[in-house]
């Protein structure tokens, strides 16, 4: 080794990623991180030294060019750089550590976004809850009064009475959501009651049955025959499901396929339950996908673009996850997964009022 090599050796010792110098097919030097990864001694044949990392050993058997990449395995990646006519610097990166680091960065970013989404939810929530509570309460009372009078004067108007019942149901749902938002902005905690996701699906569909009929959308339900218990806030979780279903209905209305379809599937996958809402609508472009969960991003003429961002916050408040995928046969699929309660046989499920 000449003088440059001595400086190089010194530099190798200072660097904390696995590095080695090869002279042709002989190992000349390796630093401590490389020794920890792949123990070896100067003078050893490179291919013998690298034998435990199979992909590397076979790559080192062949002549190496500058910048040559030797794919070692899914976990490690090796790269060679020619130092001079004789010597090659070999660097090994631990792909797992790199991906882990990348994932940590993404999680931190997601954490920051989550904080800002929570702020959006609580600020918007307080304003809306404050402004809407009174008129919604008044509307519910007016509708109930109207129904009583109609029942007295025209008891045979069954269609009208049924429609009024539906209107009261819708207004009660709105009032429950507002009440829940008011409570949440005070306690900053979702309620933690035991509830059944199968029941939640049926309750949500009951609120949308009129829309489903009007749009002539076929519904495909794949639900377990037994309750799927999760711990959570029934009103908030129902809000998520209704938002996803309304988005599916909007998509099918705005760009109607020949046979509009919504599929709801509930899967119990180990310790978590996953609910999927899919439609055979137009789907979304990659540009929309990139902004899907950002507040105020909408492609609808009158959309506010808050639904999905709020839904994601609500699910994350339940230690769950909400995400999007493309439906294989075209259209969108939204998924949310929630931890299931430990004892799935427990009979203590809260039926929603």
**Residues contributing to the site for ligand ADP (CB under 6 A):** 243, 247-248, 251, 279, 281, 284, 288, 292, 298-300, 303-309, 332
Number of other CB atoms surrounding residue 86 within 10 Å? 14
- Say how far apart CA 240 and CA 330 lie, in whole Å: 22
Under a CB-based contact definition with an 8 Å cutoff, are residues 19 and 31 in contact?
yes
Please, which residue, 34 or 337, has the CB nearer to ligand ADP? 337
Q: Whose Cβ is closer to ligand ADP: residue 196's or residue 279's?
A: 279
Task: Please state the closest distance from residue 238 (CB atom) to ligand ADP, in A.
Answer: 16
Report the residue number, 257 or 339, with the smaller CB distance to ligand ADP: 257
- As measured in angstroms, the least distance from the Cβ of 276 to ligand ADP is 12
- Report which residue's Cβ sits closest to ligand ADP: 307
CB of 185 to ligand ADP, least distance (A): 21
Two tokens, residue 334: 């939204």
**Closest CA relative to residue 132, chosen from 93, 177, 164, 91:** 177
For ligand ADP, the closer of residues 156 and 328 by Cβ is 328
Cα–Cα distance for residue pair 232/191, rounded to 1 Å: 6
Residue 158 or residue 325: which is nearer to ligand ADP going by CB? 325
Q: Which two three-digit tokens encode residue 327?
A: 């439906």
* Rounded CA separation 11/170 (Å): 72
| E strand or H helix that includes residue 22 | strand 19-23
Between CA 68 and CA 81 the distance in angstroms is 7
CB 241 → ligand ADP: shortest distance, Å?
13
Structure tokens at 213: 């009929």
| Residue 350: DSSP 8-state | B
The smaller minimum CB distance to ligand ADP, of residues 191 and 327, is found at: 327
Q: Please, what is the minimum distance in Å from the beta carbon of residue 136 to ligand ADP? A: 20
User: Which residue is associated with the tokens 């996850």?
Assistant: 321
In the complex, the smallest distance separating the C-beta of residue 298 from ligand ADP, rounded to whole angstroms, is: 3
Paired sense of beta strands 261-269 and 218-222, if any: parallel
Residue 275 CA to residue 258 CA, distance in Å, equals: 26
- From the CB of 180, what's the least distance to ligand ADP, in Å? 19
β-strands 321-326, 76-82: how paired?
unpaired
Instruction: Assess contact for 322 and 315: CB atoms under 8 A.
Output: yes
How far apart are CB 167 and ligand ADP at their closest, in Å? 23
Question: For residues 228 and 332, which CB has a smaller minimum distance to ligand ADP in the complex?
Answer: 332
Q: How far apart are CA 120 and CA 127, in angstroms?
A: 11
Strand partners, 340: 230
Choose between 122 and 299: whose C-beta lies nearer to ligand ADP. Answer: 299
Q: Is the dihedral of CA 173, 174, 177, 180 positive or negative?
A: negative
Nearer to ligand ADP, 237 or 332 (CB): 332
Query: Smallest distance from the beta carbon of 209 to ligand ADP, in angstroms?
Result: 19
């Amino acid at each position: 080794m000449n003088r440059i090599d001595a400086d190089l050796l010194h530099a190798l010792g200072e660097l904390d990623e696995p590095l080695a110098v090869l002279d042709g097919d002989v190992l000349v030097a390796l630093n401590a991180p490389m020794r920890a990864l792949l123990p070896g001694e100067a003078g050893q044949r490179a291919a013998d030294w690298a034998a435990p990392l199979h992909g590397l050993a076979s790559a080192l058997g062949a002549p190496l060019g500058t910048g040559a990449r030797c794919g070692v395995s899914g976990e490690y990646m090796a790269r060679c750089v020619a130092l001079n006519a004789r010597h090659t610097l070999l660097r090994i990166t631990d792909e797992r550590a790199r991906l882990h680091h990348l994932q940590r960065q993404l999680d931190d970013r997601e954490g920051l976004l989550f904080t800002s989404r929570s702020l959006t939810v609580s600020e918007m929530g307080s304003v809306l809850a404050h402004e809407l509570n009174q008129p919604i309460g008044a509307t519910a009372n007016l509708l109930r009064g109207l129904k009583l009078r109609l029942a007295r004067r025209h008891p045979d108007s069954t269609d009208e009475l049924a429609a009024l019942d539906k209107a009261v149901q819708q207004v009660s749902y709105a009032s429950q959501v507002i009440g829940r938002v008011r409570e949440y902005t005070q306690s900053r905690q979702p309620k933690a009651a035991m509830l059944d996701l199968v029941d939640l699906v049926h309750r949500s569909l009951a609120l949308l049955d009129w829309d489903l009929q009007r749009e002539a959308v076929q519904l495909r339900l794949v639900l377990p025959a037994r309750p799927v218990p999760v711990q959570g806030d029934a009103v908030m979780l129902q809000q998520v499901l209704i938002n996803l279903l309304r988005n599916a209905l909007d998509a099918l209305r705005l760009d109607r396929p020949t046979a509009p379809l919504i599929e709801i599937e509930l899967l119990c996958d180990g310790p978590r339950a996953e609910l999927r809402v899919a439609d055979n609508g137009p789907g979304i472009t990659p540009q929309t996908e990139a902004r899907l969960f950002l507040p105020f991003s909408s492609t609808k003429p009158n959309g506010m673009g808050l639904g999905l961002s709020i839904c994601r916050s609500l699910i994350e408040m339940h230690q769950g996850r909400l995400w999007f995928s493309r439906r294989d046969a075209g259209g969108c699929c939204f998924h949310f997964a929630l931890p299931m309660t430990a004892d799935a046989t427990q009979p203590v499920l809260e039926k929603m009022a």
